A and B are shown apart, each in its own frame.
Chain A
């Protein structure tokens, strides 16, 4: 893990710069509501994510945590309340999702790598098409972000040649290559065997230590406790309890107590 231990100066300085100019939170939920047909999955969410902060969303399946996350980059549209992300009001119908998504990356549970492209092409597709960078610059960029996730030697491989854990790390690198202000992680280790989970979590942990702003939906309680600045427990579409990682050690509500009891 030699390559990964080097701190990436570009990312770090970019984040420093944005945190100096941005005193307001990167993400702000104010009474956000979201329904799928008759079913209301978010029943008034209030939450703030500051620059450089790591926020872990936990809760049972169906508690609304994934929906809340997907609202942040516009994969789901909110029905009521106010959601501001990187200075954009998402309730406003004419927000440019493509612009928003250049600032907000997402990593999925099922990786969703492009199977017909090599690792390097996967990572550089969006920077080349969206940011219009040249071939040489793209190659350098791929080298940088793949080093960040410890996969420098896999640039010319195809996704199906990699293990699940490696594929997920490529997906993280693909997100990093867009130089986002914020990355969303949607249960990124849920599809992985336990022995592959660790390598992905270590990459996320390193990004956290480098100051990347992140929101993650996770079932890994120990990880949430050690890495997250803010842990949010969701229950029945509401934020039931919120606090630092230590909240998990002494839950205030019976619901969180039961959840943690089952989880550990």
Chain B
């Protein structure tokens, strides 16, 4: 097998690649906070909400976790189009990502809340804190700190999953790769380079999120131990 590798496309298409990176990371970062908030809200609803909320959250979480992201994306994007609601590919991608990652985050956060010792809740109640105050000041910080590694992994997976958004013509990194290979016919080289870029992005995202933990958990920063 004599194949001549040709990576010259990198120079020609560098601006497009940067744009793809920008879009992929943009989608990811925009989705993280609302996805986390949605998931945490659902976890709380499933644990402490009235029965109908619990049932609703269970249906949402199980429905999302047992169907592929790409089907959810198509359902939303093509569905909105039929309803004559004009939503660009980028917002549609973000909405789908938030809904998707919210379901996974809900399960992670639920496990986090459930891992808090009963004595903590009793102590909070005995100090005359309202249930909402106990949730916000005592349970939530401990739950987040306990499951933070799992959350980081989930958000890295979400970043990788943005790679299908070119299917709804959001020209993120994988979409850019497809465009380049269709012009250069260097599919193998293009996707090798793209794979390396994703690898670097995954590393970067992981480090960033772990760095955020160092800043936002003062106890961890001081002691270096986990809860």
Q: Which residues of A contact B (CB under 8 A)?
A: 73, 75, 97-99, 101-102, 105-106, 108, 110, 112-118, 125-126, 129-130, 158, 160-161, 174, 178
Q: Is B119 an interface residue (CB 8 A)?
A: yes
Q: Which 10 pairs between the two chains have the least Cβ-Cβ distance?
A: A126-B127, A112-B123, A112-B119, A101-B128, A102-B128, A98-B128, A130-B128, A129-B133, A116-B141, A106-B126
Name the A residues within 8 Å of B219 (CB-CB).
115-118, 158
Asked if residues B122 and A75 are in contact (CB atoms below 8 Å), the reply is yes
| Interface size counted on chain B using CB atoms at 8 A | 24
Name the B residues within 8 Å of A116 (CB-CB).
141-142, 145, 217, 219, 227
Q: Which B residues from 87 to 124 make CB contacts under 8 A with A?
A: 117, 119-120, 122-124
Asked if residues B120 and A112 are in contact (CB atoms below 8 Å), the reply is yes
Query: Which among A75, A101, A110, A116 has the highest number of chain B CB atoms within 10 Å?
Result: A116
Q: Is B207 an interface residue (CB 8 A)?
A: no
- Which residue from A97, A102, A112, A115 sits with its C-beta under 8 Å from B142? A115
Asked if residues B119 and A108 are in contact (CB atoms below 8 Å), the reply is yes
Q: Is B66 an interface residue (CB 8 A)?
A: no
Name the B residues within 8 Å of A178 (CB-CB).
127-128
Q: Is B125 an interface residue (CB 8 A)?
A: yes
11 A-B residue contacts at CB 8 Å?
Answer: A110-B119, A112-B123, A115-B142, A125-B127, A125-B129, A129-B129, A130-B128, A130-B133, A160-B225, A161-B223, A178-B128
How many CB-defined contacts (below 8 Å) exist between A and B?
Answer: 65
Q: Which residues of B contact A (CB under 8 A)?
A: 117, 119-120, 122-130, 133, 137-138, 141-142, 145, 217, 219, 222-223, 225, 227
Asked if residues B138 and A114 are in contact (CB atoms below 8 Å), the reply is yes
A90 to B225, CA, bound (A): 43
Would you give the shortest CB distance from A2 to chain B, in whole angstroms? 28
Given contacts A130-B128, A130-B133, 11 further A-B contacts (CB under 8 A): A73-B126, A75-B122, A97-B125, A101-B125, A101-B128, A110-B119, A114-B138, A114-B142, A125-B137, A130-B129, A160-B223
A113 to B119, CA, bound (A): 9
Name the A residues within 8 Å of B128 (CB-CB).
98-99, 101-102, 126, 130, 178
Q: Which residue of chain B lies nearest to A103 when distances are taken between CB atoms in the complex?
A: B128
Name the A residues within 8 Å of B126 (CB-CB).
73, 75, 101, 105-106
Name the B residues within 8 Å of A130 (CB-CB).
127-129, 133
Asked if residues B223 and A158 are in contact (CB atoms below 8 Å), the reply is yes
Q: Which residue of chain B lies nearest to A127 when distances are taken between CB atoms in the complex?
A: B127
Q: Which residue of chain A lies nearest to B119 when distances are taken between CB atoms in the complex?
A: A112
Name the A residues within 8 Å of B141 (CB-CB).
116
Contacts known (A110-B119, A114-B138, A129-B133); A101 close to B223, Cβ less than 8 A: no
Contacts known (A73-B126, A101-B125, A101-B128); A114 close to B120, Cβ less than 8 A: yes
Q: Which residue of chain B lies nearest to A125 when distances are taken between CB atoms in the complex?
A: B137
Q: Which residue of chain B lies nearest to A109 when distances are taken between CB atoms in the complex?
A: B119
A110 to B124, CA, bound (A): 14
A130 to B133, CA, bound (A): 9
Name the B residues within 8 Å of A101 (CB-CB).
125-128
A110 to B141, CA, bound (A): 20
A125 to B137, CA, bound (A): 8
Name the A residues within 8 Å of B133 (CB-CB).
129-130
Would you give the shortest CB distance from A120 to chain B, in whole angstroms? 12
